[in-house]
A and B are shown apart, each in its own frame.
Chain A
Amino acid sequence: MGKYNEEETLKRLQDPATQSKAFEEIVNHYSQPLYWQIRRLVIDHDDADDVLQNTFIKAWTNISAFRGESKLSTWLYKIAYNESLTFLNHKKEQMSLDEEGSMVTETLESDTYIDGDETQLMLEKAIQQLPDKQRAVFNMKYFQEMKYEDISKITGTSVGALKASFHIAVKKIEEYFNSHD
């Protein structure tokens, strides 16, 4: 597949004859970054794979809702963010609070597709203690190094509230380490 040109791809997305091919280019370009955003939230690889599939199905069936007013990446990240939170909420409904806490720790320790050193795993455990939305904000800012303005468009939260949320998240992580050192 050639070099991705978003402007050209969006033009071809308007033509039913080239729509499918154009969408394939979008999938090819965005599937990896979206996967990692989802994976850091849902942890398990198979769950992340399911949520990613749903994200693109939703984008494809609602492509008419994309008016070109925001960046395509922002629109896709927003769908992925919402799909991840919906998935996590459904999962929580199916288990008790105790099960929920232990499940995250167990997944981090036993998942075949987690291969970090002890320090990285420790950070992941600390991040998993945060509420879902705060965790998503922390991941987007710390790991994906997104701008607050972009995170604001994805999450629908004001920049000021995001800065406060990130600051509190960092404090909570620090406290987690202080209590586990």
Chain B
Amino acid sequence: MILEEKKLEKRFGKGNPYTVPEGYFDTLTSRIMSNLPDADQCKTISIMPSRKTYWKQWTCGVAACIAGALICLNVFDSPTQPANNFASNNTNKTEMSAGYDEEYQKEVMRYAMVDYNDVYTYLSGTAY
């Protein structure tokens, strides 16, 4: 407590000069409750995530993991190109890789029963 506050308290105290009509607080709760709008105008609160939310989050997580693992396997298991063919194959590979990767990802996601949105939602941590 700062010195000035101590001085104020010493001089004036912390008393309450305000009063209320007699019996005001006795009927206050019932008066407030009777003035509230109908319950259908307010939504039920959800303080903790529901079971449904947990299930959805868990499924999304597992599906995204499977999709991620299959994509990684494809990257590391791709057949090694012989050194002398590298130059000639490089152009073709670059041209083809975009279409091939996309097709493969789609196949993986079909297998894992997820779509881009699920993967994105999981990775960005916005799943509820």
Contact = CB atoms under 8 A, between A and B. Distances in A.
Contacts of B31: 53
Interface in B106-126: none
Interface residues of B, number: 35
B14 A31 contact: no
Contacts of B9: 142
Interface string B46-77: 11100000000000000000000000000000
Interface string B3-40: 01101110111111111110001001101110111010
A16 B33 contact: no
Contact of A39 (B2, B14, B18, B29): B18
B45 A27 contact: no
A93 interface: no
Interface in A155-181: 166-167, 170-171, 173-174
B87 interface: no
Contact of B35 (A53, A117, A174): A53
A121 B12 CA distance: 10
B8 A19 contact: no
A96 B45 CA distance: 43
B36 A14 contact: no
Interface stretch (A54-62, A78-86, A98-106): A54-62
A116 B25 contact: no
Given A24-B29, A114-B19, A63 B37 contact: no
A67 B46 CA distance: 7
Contact of A20 (B8, B39, B43, B48): B39
B28 A31 contact: yes
Given A27-B29, A61-B41, A62-B42, A45 B35 contact: no
B80 interface: no
20 contacts: A14-B45, A14-B46, A16-B39, A16-B44, A19-B42, A23-B36, A24-B29, A31-B32, A32-B25, A35-B20, A56-B35, A57-B35, A63-B42, A66-B45, A66-B47, A113-B21, A114-B17, A114-B18, A116-B15, A120-B15
Interface of B: 2, 4-5, 7-9, 11-21, 25, 28-29, 31-33, 35-37, 39, 41-48
